Structures are given as C-alpha cells and as structure tokens.
Structure 1
Amino acid sequence: MILHELIDFEVLRVIWWLLLGVLLIGFALTDGFDMGVGALLPFVAKTDLERRVAINTVGPVWEGNQVWFILGGGAIFAAWPPLYAVSFSGFYMAMFLILAALILRPVAFKYRSKRDGVRWRQTWDWALFIGGAVPALIFGVAVGNVLQGVPFRFTEDLMPLYEGSFFGLLNPFALLTGLTSLAMLIMHGGAWLSLKADGVVGERARVYGSYAAAGSLLGFLLAGLWLAIGLDGYAFTSPSVTDGPSNPLFSEVAKGGSWLAAYAERPWIAIAPVLGIVGAVLTFLGLRAGREVSTLLSSKLAIFGMISSVGLTMFPFILPSSIDPKSSLTVWDSSSSHLTLFVMLVATVIFMPLILAYTAWVYKVLWGKVTEEEVRSNTDTVY
C-alpha cells in the first residue's frame, strides 16, 4: 500500500478543513489583538507617552503573529486551489485594501519614532489605526458575503468567473458582520491592553473594550437572527460523494432553506455559538471588574466560538455561489489531490509544534506590564 493511502481522502479533506479553521482562528487570536490595539489607539492614549505604552504592548510580537495569516493564505493556496482562485480574484479590491492597511502597520511601527515632531508621530498613529480597523472590518464583511453566497461560477472547463463588484460586497448583512468583526477584535485589543498596559491606558482600554464586547455580542446575536429568518442557506440535492474527484461541478447543490438547519442535523455544533456568547459575556464582566488574565482568555474563547460557528454552520460548504449553486465549493469537491494533502499534513505535523513552542516561549519572555516609567527611561525602545 502506498503510504498516503493510509489515510482516506475523505478524512484528509476534513483534516485540512479543520486545519484551515485552526489557522484562521489562530490569526484572529494573535494578530487580532494587534489590530484591536491599533483600532483603540486614538481612544485609549491621549499623549505621546501613553501611545508609546500602548504600541509597546504589541510592538515586540506583532510580526510573529503575522505567521498565522501567512500560513492561512498558504493553506488556502495549497489545500483548496479553487477557493484561492475565486476568493483572491473575486475579492481583489477587498484584498488590496486589507494588504494596503497591513503594509501601513509595519511602516508605522518602524518610522514613528524616527522623529520627535507631533504631526509626524500623529500621522503614523493614524496609520496604525487604519492598519488595525480596516482589516478587522473587511474580514468580517467577507464572512458576511460568504454566508450569503458569492457571485461566481465555473465554466465547463472549470475556469472561474466572478460576476460581482466591490461595492456589491457592502450589503447590509455583510456590513453587520463586518462591524461585529471589528467590535470583536477591539474587545480582544481591550483585553490585551488591560493585561499588558499599566496606568491610565489600561483603565481606558477596559472601558472601551467592555463597550466592544457588548457590541460584538449584540452583532453576533443579530447576525444569527438574520440567518434564521432572512437568509437562505445551501444544501446538496443529491447524495454527496465525499471521496470523489476535486471538481466543483461534480455535486448537485441548490439554494434554499436555512443555514441553521445544520443544528438539527448535528446538534452538537451548538457548542460553538454558546462558547461565543459565554466568552463575550465573561469578557464584558471581566473588563468591568478589572480582571486581566481570565479576561483575555474569555476574549479568546469568544473569538473561537464566533468564528467556529460560521465554519460549523456552513460545513461542508466553503464558498457557495449565489448565481450558480452548482459551482459552490465544498470540502468534498474543491481540495487538492490525495497525495498533496498527505504531504502537506506530514509537513504540518513536523513544523506546527515548532511554531507553537516558539510562540509560547516568546510570550513567556515578554510577560509583564509595559509602564510609562519603563518607556520613558528606556532609550532603546524603538516604538
């Protein structure tokens, strides 16, 4: 028996669907608080010294946190080629805005301290705000459009054609999910600053973070209600072949019914939205009470639950098509080959523990609060 056949094609597809979720959630849990701190910067820090305190809580770790974003993009490219082709071409303008905002952030980190001028530093502070708020908003808008279905189709020779526009992405439901995503990551940034920033910065972060926690909870509940009563889901109209060819036109799919029917078919997935709701409530209460470590963990729980809810609700769909449901991408018909998934899994098993171990070591070394006195007296601080 060939080695890669030790694991069924169906199982490998599910494993890589799970790994994609792990990478995207890992990105939200780590780089998410970086973006949240950037979005909070104009509100929690009023003086240059206070802004330096906030920035230095994420300055040493933000680059390492980007690893999850790169791994997520790489996983989409290698494990789900049709998804990469459709999303990165159809969402081109949205992707461009995200990348432009993310490029602003490292430039701002590096150049902010090069001059002492007030206008100079304020300009880069606003760049950090844009680099945090814009990606958080657009990622959520993308999720909202995925749940509604994206206007693309495949020709008979499997050429993807996207027939939508950038402004078509800015529909009411997608804007709701975008604002929910922004509030969720601001909540996470507030929890991080509550833990890492000393003095008035941490105090303000607890206030604004608690508002964001309430906003993310409200947005999550409204989006769930919208899914229940105002948004059609997608379903197979014929038995799905879980180990068939990777051909998006292979399955019969129709639009109709509700996404929430998944909870009747697989009741256990209700744990995801419950965790999202409980996590947001605990984060709100923790920020109000001034708790730190437990509040950050609660924020992570909320993010895990909210993002997991989307994936588990849609499974096995990855990217539905609103204009040609038959072209919808699912776990069963849009993956790479059996051998490719197996080789990538072996590499992941080897390197993922190293990434996790290194990340844990970095956070252990950098444990502790950033204080105004430390920032003021440390001439080597570059942020």
Structure 2
Amino acid sequence: MLNYEFLCVIWSIIIGILITGFMITDGLDMGVGILLFIIGKNNIDRRIMINTIAPHWDGNQVWLITTGGAIFAAWPIVYATLFSYFYIAMLLLLLSLFLRPIGFEYRSKIKNKKWEKICDFCISIGSFLPPTIIGIALGNLLQGIPFYIDKYYNIYSQGHFYKLFTLFSIIISITIIIMILNQASSYLQIRIKDYNLNHKLSIILKLSSILLILFFIISFISTLLFIKGYKINNFYVKNSNIIYESKAWMSNFKNHTYLYLIPLFSIILPLLTILFSIYKKFVIVFICSILTTISIVSTVGIIMFPFIIPSSIKPYQSLTIWNSTSSQLTLNIMLYIVIIFMPIVLIYTFWCYKKMFFRLSKEKIEKKSDTFY
C-alpha cells in the first residue's frame, strides 16, 4: 500500500488533471456556444458552429461529472462544504446545463426558425452561465469562504449568495470566459471552411488573446499582492499552523522561484497564438490555446497548494489536502482504478475527435441538411 502523504499529493494532481480536462474539452464547446450569436448572424452560420461540437458536447460534459465524483470520493468534506456554501450557485449551474441538451437534441426536431433560435439561445445561455459561475466560485475560494466546523464535525457557513459577487471574483470570472472564447475561436478556425466566419474568428482570436493577457496579469497580481491569502508553515505536516495575511499566496513562488515560469507561459502562449494566427498556422494556434488553458489552471493550483477551501473566519480550520482527504485504503483503490481507466478515456476521447474531424462549410450543411443538427 502506498504512503498516505504521497497519495494525498497524487490525488490533488489527479483532480487537477480532471479539472484541466474539463476546462479544455467542455470549456471549448461552451466557448463555441457563447460565440453563436456573436459571430453567427444567421441560421446557417450557427448550424455550422453547432455541428463542430455536436458529436462531442455530451462526452465533454462527463469531465465535469467525473471531477465531481472524484472530489466526492477523495475529498468528501470538501464536496460537502462546496455544495452547501455554493448551493444556489450550483443549482443555477445545473439548471443552465439542462438547457444544453434541449438546444442540441431538439433543435432539428421542428423545422421552424423561431424554434431553432430558441434552441440556439438555450445553447448560448447554457454555455455562458457555467464558466461564469465557476469563475465566481474560484474567486471566492481564493479569498476564502466564511465557514467553520464544530466539535461534532458539522459544517456551518455564514455567506449569502449576493456576497459571492465581489470585484475580484468578477475579474476571475471574466478571465475564464475570455480563456474559453480564445480556445473556442482557435478550434473553430480548424473546423470551419467559410471566409466570413473565419475572418470574424481571426478578429475574436486576436482580441481574446490580448484581453486574456491583460486580465490574467490583473488577476495574478491581485491574487498575490492585493487580497489576503493563506500559507502553511510546513505543508508536508498535517498539523502545521495556517497563516492568513496579505501576500500569503506568494509563498509557493517564493519557496520555488522556478514556478514563476508557469504564469509566464500564460502570458507568452497567447502572444504565440496571435503570431501563428497571422501566419495561418491554425493547428499550432489551437495547441497554443490548449497549453494556455493548462498553464492558467496550473497557476491556480500552484497558488493554492496545499489549500482546497480556505476559511476566512477560522483560518486554522481551512481544508487542505492533508486534513480533507479520504482514507489510505480508499485512495489506493481509487488510484488503481484511475491507472486502468484514465488512459482508456484519454485514448477514446482523442480517437473520437480524430474520427469525427472534418471541415464544415455552408455547402456541406445544405447538401446533407438532414444528417446535421
């Protein structure tokens, strides 16, 4: 049986990989959904965009379910705290996700322009709200949430829904939305064969890259310098003292300065995205966009490690990977399952994208209208 401390770290990495997988795959098709009415000026344009993600959107959404399941199994107290404090936000997230299958699956059932437009709105709303809510939640986690645990291990929170919307959390939310728009526009460029749409996507890609750099820098500097953060005296020891003070989120970067390379990549990669877009190297642009998402998610992980949910009213009760993780036996069994099934899932996902990859155009949609959404 593997060492417990090692398992705690391994499972924090696995959950980080699952979150990254969700942000890349489901974030991509949510970005397409947001762009529907931004660049899709008519029904055929929107049909072209929808059919680039139609074979994959439901499979991509499984990443969110898998992440939730992994958190429930590996960090049960984290799961309980998240879903109780963010109850209304989570409810809105689930309700918005219900709109997506309505939009995708029922759009082509009725040949009516108004109905098709309603379905497109369902896809857009169901694509815009989840990353917005996730960004708001992340912003609150970085600031710490007002909860405490009594001697009977009951969890109490003192927050209200309207208090979730702070200036900092809104900035984080905007950053995430721009990130998925950047990824979606780079993906659409390699899937769409239409001059007008590709011209608009080129503009969106360059603009989102510039805005992403700007908002990432603002978010990163604000996190490190302008909000109170958390640090632990020795994060390899379970019962170390937790310190809550200004600039505390800098501690991991101070202890390991080479980690600054990760946020630096989050700035360099969008610049490379713009550069390769100018030279029409769309596959490389898409790869740079994916790497940007990985570096941004990794930056958040580095900032917060080993914290999962910091407490703003009783910092010493903050949930970390050391005091919130399941038993050694549970983690061992789950790890064996992950070792077997995660490669299968990754290979299958790659295979699906490869097999269903082809460029879409107005002519192709109109020629085989009944076979497309």
Question: What TM-score, normalized to structure 2?
Answer: 0.96
Determine if the alignment matches structure 1 residue 11 to structure 2 residue 6. yes
Matches within 5 A, 1:115-130: 115-130=110-125
1:285 counterpart residue number: 275
Q: Deviations over 1:307-362 (max 9, x none)?
A: 11011111111110111101101111110000000000000011111101111111
Structure 2 unaligned regions, length at least 5: none
Q: Which amino acid aligns with 2:308?
A: I
Distance 1:241 1:276 in 2: 28
Verify the 8 A CA contact 1:210 1:288 in the aligned structure 2.
no
Q: Deviations over 1:87-106 (max 9, x none)?
A: 01111111111111111011
Verify the 8 A CA contact 2:235 2:306 in the aligned structure 1.
no
Determine if the alignment matches structure 1 residue 350 to structure 2 residue 345. no
DSSP 3-state at the match of 1:113 = coil
DSSP 3-state at the match of 1:290 = coil
Determine if the alignment matches structure 1 residue 360 to structure 2 residue 355. no
Distance 1:51 1:241 in 2: 51
Q: Which amino acid aligns with 1:253?
A: I
Root mean square deviation of aligned Cα: 1.4
Distance 1:185 1:147 in 2: 20
2:296 counterpart residue number: 306
Structure 1 residue 382, shift from structure 2 partner: 4.0
1:255 counterpart residue number: 244
Verify the 8 A CA contact 1:207 1:288 in the aligned structure 2.
no
Structure 1 residue 36, shift from structure 2 partner: 0.3
Q: Deviations over 1:248-269 (max 9, x none)?
A: xx55323114112321102222
More moved, 274-283 vs 213-222: 274-283
Verify the 8 A CA contact 1:207 1:287 in the aligned structure 2.
no
Alignment equivalent of 1:296, drawn from 286, 290, 293: 286
1:247 counterpart residue number: none
Verify the 8 A CA contact 2:272 2:288 in the aligned structure 1.
yes
DSSP 3-state at the match of 2:199 = helix
Alignment equivalent of 2:193, drawn from 198, 207, 211: 198
More moved, 219-228 vs 276-285: 276-285
Verify the 8 A CA contact 1:37 1:54 in the aligned structure 2.
yes
Distance 1:91 1:231 in 2: 21
Distance 1:51 1:376 in 2: 13
More moved, 279-288 vs 139-148: 279-288
Determine if the alignment matches structure 1 residue 330 to structure 2 residue 320. yes
1:108 counterpart residue number: 103
DSSP 3-state at the match of 1:96 = helix
Q: Deviations over 1:80-137 (max 9, x none)?
A: 0111010011111111111111110111001111222222111111111111111111
Distance 1:225 1:241 in 2: 27
DSSP 3-state at the match of 1:318 = strand
Alignment equivalent of 1:166, drawn from 156, 161, 167: 161
Question: What TM-score, normalized to structure 1?
Answer: 0.93
DSSP 3-state at the match of 2:5 = helix
Q: Percent identity?
A: 37
DSSP 3-state at the match of 2:148 = strand
Q: Aligned pair count?
A: 371
Structure 1 residue 183, shift from structure 2 partner: 0.6
Distance 2:179 2:202 in 1: 14
Distance 1:104 1:251 in 2: 45
Verify the 8 A CA contact 1:232 1:256 in the aligned structure 2.
yes
Q: Which amino acid aligns with 1:254?
A: I
Alignment equivalent of 1:232, drawn from 205, 222, 228: 228
Distance 1:300 1:155 in 2: 42
Verify the 8 A CA contact 2:131 2:177 in the aligned structure 1.
yes
